[in-house]
Amino acid sequence: MDDTWTSIFVAAGWAIILGGAGGTLTEIGPWYRQLKKPAWQPPDWLFGPAWTVILGLSGWSFYIGLTQAPTPEGLAHVWGLFGVNFALHFAWSPLFFKFKRPDWALGENIVLWLSVLGLVVLLPRNTGNSFAGWLNVPYLVWVSFALVLNWKIVQLNRPFGRAAAV
């Protein structure tokens, strides 16, 4: 198998694992249903298709990064950008849904947003391909929206954790 196929499998695997993990770790149960949410929150069914498109585009940008980084250092930066983003993206759902801590998820969401901004801004610098950055703009827009939604849920429902039990 040549490097092109390896890059396709790596980039597709990155997107599929993140999308699958996000769906698996998102529990729409009684706790979530009882949270106060803003009227402008999209319906639950929209999140899956939105993430599928967004992660597909970002996976495409990962493929571009893997195949067009002109130097080993640039390739290492591509791996770093997507590795950090993977960890941060993966962490949000457990914080929000498993630990029932939208407040912690909000803090994590800010760092996730910065990692997506890094994909938009730094990926073109490491690949010489501005399209690779543009492919992540929908991701940045969606995470920006999710950040505001997460903030509003925290505002409407705080406190969480021990403070909520007191």
Q: What confidence score (pLDDT) does residue 26 get?
A: 77
- pLDDT tier for residue 1 given thresholds of 50, 70 and 90: very low
Q: Which residue has the higher pLDDT, 101 or 3?
A: 101
* Contact (Cβ atoms closer than 8 angstroms) between residue 27 and residue 97: yes
The confidence score (pLDDT) of residue 166 equals: 45
- CATH number of the domain bearing residue 34: 1.20.1260.100
pTM above 0.85, yes or no: yes
Cis peptide before 159 (omega within 30 of 0): yes
**Cα separation of 11 and 111, whole Å?**
22
53: confidence class by pLDDT, cuts 50, 70, 90: very high
Q: Distance between CA atoms of 28 and 47, rounded to whole angstroms?
A: 12
pLDDT exceeds 50 at position 68 = yes
Mean pLDDT across the chain, nearest whole number? 92
- Residue % of the chain over a pLDDT of 90: 80
Q: What is the pLDDT of residue 2?
A: 53
Confidence of residue 78 (pLDDT cuts 50, 70, 90): very high
d(C-alpha 1, C-alpha 163), whole Å: 55
| Nearest to 14, CA basis, from 53, 47, 72, 60 | 60
Can you give the residue range of the structural domain that contains 12? 3-165
Over range 121-133, report the average pLDDT: 95
The count of domains in the chain is 1
- Burial of residue 16 (CB within 10 Å: 0-12, 13-18, 19+) is middle
Whether 31 has a pLDDT exceeding 50, the answer reads yes
On whether the CB atoms of residues 82 and 62 are closer than 8 A, the answer is yes
